Amino acid sequence: MKSMTDNSPASPERRRFLGAATVAAGVTLAPGVMLVEVAHGRPEDQAASGAVRWGMLVDATKCASGCDECVSACSTENGWTPVAESKHPKQAPQWIRKLELQDPLTQQETNLPMLCQHCAEPPCVDVCPTGASFKRADGIVLVNRHTCIGCRYCMMACPYKARSLVHEPLNDTQKPDVPRGVGCVEACTFCVQKVDRGDGTTACVEACTKAGHNALVFGDMNDPESEISKRLRELPTKQVRADLNLNVGVRYHGI
Amino acid sequence: MASITFREVEGSSLKYWMLFGGIGLFVLFGFLSYLYMHHHGHVVTGMDNQVVWGLPHVFAVFLIVAASGALNVASIASVFNKPMYKPLAPLSAILALALLAGGLLVLVLDLGRSDRLIVAMTHFNFTSMFTWNVFLYSGFFVLVGIYLWTMLDSSVKAYTKVAGTAAFLWRLILTTGTGSLFGFLIARALYGSAMLAPMFIIMSFAYGLAIYLLVLAASYAWTGRPLGDVVMNRLRYLLAVFVAAVLYFVVVYHLTNLYFAKMHGAEAFILRDGGDITTLFWVGQIVVGCVLPLVILLTGLGKQRSWVLVACVLVILGGIAQEYVTIIGAQAYPLEMFPGMTMKSTFYDGVVHDYSPSTPEWFLGLGGVAIALLITTFAVKVLRLLPVSLDDATVAKLEH
């Protein structure tokens, strides 16, 4: 080591040391910073950011007939009873469902999951008398369990039939981070608990990917570098009931 | 102008208390139905995630619409200055308040979380028609209350016209609001039409007057007070005009829809393929609610009081059928998310939704009607709402 008096900024050795230290610090910290950046996880006291617009791409050409992995995964993650196990199927909540479409003329069939479309202009939010239906800054449409009075006006207003009323008392099916309750209306939350935890994806997307179909992509549509943005740029997609001009957060390819 | 003596009905006879008790029994059944539904959740009703508003909404909307219509008789007296209607006005105002109270009770007791009513009164979202209606209903109670006060208290009689005019304008806005509950819904094919607001106003004229006529005739018959043919005939022709106007609006509404290809499916469902809904439309709404009453009211049959009352009952039944078709019919028809495609899912997409109301729903709805009648029955006993006589001679003096 040189003497203290020789400690000038021009010292090449010191410059090398500082450089190495910076690189080392960078290597240590970067993954953490990057992860936070990529996954958009955020602390509880921080509000959702309007810079983000969560969205989903459904590639109906890859959605397999008869497969309902996304539906089961949603039910498991969010704690709602699968309709097949319900004693009251017509009254059972369904946050996501598989739709089978057929053109009666051409016989062409299409499969796709239908869920809350997380509209930028959500009719359910417009009609809710108490403001319990609301849209978060990051585009996720949710229902506040504490102020929903169960009037079901949002269910009348939703063009996608995406909402369900909890018709009977819930027993032990609830998950700690997914509050539900009898008499309240609920719908797909884009797995908001996972999003806020920083998972950066939803249960249905994970299940679809795991099953090898890759029909679903979730991500930040405002980030031009996100996978969903890239795919949306490449694939022609449509909005369901585009005539209503609701600017939905779920875009479909192949419909 | 001759003065009219108003007097309370005595209301101490066994008959009065039997009537009171009979209606009270329905109120009790309604309340028990509410407790049952509240305890078990909506799973015990016929409602589901397909038909989310059921029979209670049919009754609630019918009563709320009828409430504003019941005020018309008073409005004709105070706003349009027709002296013959002046003695009829106080009953009209109390009936309006009673029907609104009945309708609102059914509406709030059918909420999934009726225990959170306080939330509805403290959290407002002004893009919601429901929120606007909360204020329209409260305002109606206040304005009609003041109006009634100006009619009953001679010291504030000078303000009757002002209060009556305010209440009249308010009731037009209120029914516009009720119609817009449906008219502002973009999702369902049969809603989302500005036609619904004026149609609801004209429906309210007919339902309200029919109920008014029945209550008036019953109160006079049961208290032995004279009710002349002049009053009955005037109201009979008025009712005929209102019923004809309802029919006109219904025809125009459906003809407009039939012109648009995108509406063909929904219209075919209501008019031809809808099973019970179609039957309710043609038999209930059109024949029972409009055609038969018009035939009775405009022909020789209408000269007999009992037939006029039959026509009133038919208008009311037709009105309930009309609300049923409007509310349940529009929900039973599946949402068209992918026009031209057939749809299948576990969530009953693409299929017509069945709905059959459960017993508690019937009793909750009838409970609302009973509340309205109970309030009216009690009010005529404690307030001077009914003229001692409405015979032809007394009424003739009013107009000269």
Quote the percentage of chain B above a pLDDT of 90.
90
Q: Give me the mean pLDDT over the B338-351 stretch.
A: 94
| Ranges of H-type helices in chain B | 14-40, 55-70, 72-78, 89-109, 117-122, 129-152, 160-183, 196-223, 229-259, 264-268, 276-279, 292-298, 305-324, 330-332, 359-382, 392-398
DSSP state of B44: G
Q: Give residue-wise pLDDT tens across range B208-246.
A: 999 999 999 999 999 999 999 999 999 999 999 999 999
pLDDT digits (tens, 9 = 90+) for B371-396: 999 999 999 999 999 999 999 988 88
Partner-chain contact B347 A161, CB within 8 Å: yes
Average pLDDT, chain B: 95
CB contacts of A255 in chain B (<8 Å) are 338
Alpha helices in A132-240 (DSSP H): 153-157, 192-197, 203-210, 227-234
Which pLDDT score, from 0 to 100, does residue A2 have?
42
**Residue pLDDT, tens place only, B291-344:** 999 999 999 999 999 999 999 999 999 999 999 999 999 999 999 999 989 999
State the pTM of this model: 0.91
B254-302 per-position pLDDT tens digit: 999 999 998 999 999 999 999 999 999 999 999 999 999 999 999 999 9
CA gap B100, B82 in Å, rounded: 25
CB B223 within 8 A of CB B9: yes
Where does the pLDDT of residue B2 fall: very low under 50, low under 70, confident under 90, or very high at 90 and above?
A: low
Label residue B175 by pLDDT band (50, 70, 90).
very high
What is residue A66's predicted lDDT score, i.e. its pLDDT?
93
Instruction: Determine phi and psi for A129, rounding to 5 degrees.
Output: -70, -30
Nearest CA in chain B to A186: B49
**Per-position pLDDT tens, chain A of length 255:** 444 444 444 555 666 666 666 666 655 555 455 444 444 567 778 888 889 999 999 999 999 999 999 999 999 999 999 999 999 999 999 999 999 999 999 999 999 999 999 999 999 999 999 999 999 999 999 999 999 999 999 999 999 999 999 999 997 778 989 999 999 999 999 999 999 999 999 999 999 999 999 999 999 999 999 999 999 999 999 999 999 999 999 999 998
Give the mean pLDDT of B186-202: 92
pLDDT of residue A37: 47
Chain B residues touching A244 at Cβ < 8 A: 186
Among chain A residues, CA nearest to B344: A100
pLDDT of the residue at A44: 76
Question: How far from the centroid of its chain's Cα atoms is residue A156's Cα?
Answer: 23
Instruction: Determine, for residues B130 and A99 on separate chains, whether the beta-carbon distance falls below 8 Å.
Output: no
Interface mutation vs chain A, best among B34, B36, B39, B43, most A CBs within 10 Å: B43
B188 CB neighbours in chain A (<8 A) are 156
Quote the distance between the C-alpha of residue B236 and its chain's center: 18
Nearest CA in chain A to B117: A149
- Residue B1 predicted with pLDDT over 90: no
Chosen from A72, A165, A185, A238 to mutate, greatest number of chain B CBs within 10 A = A165
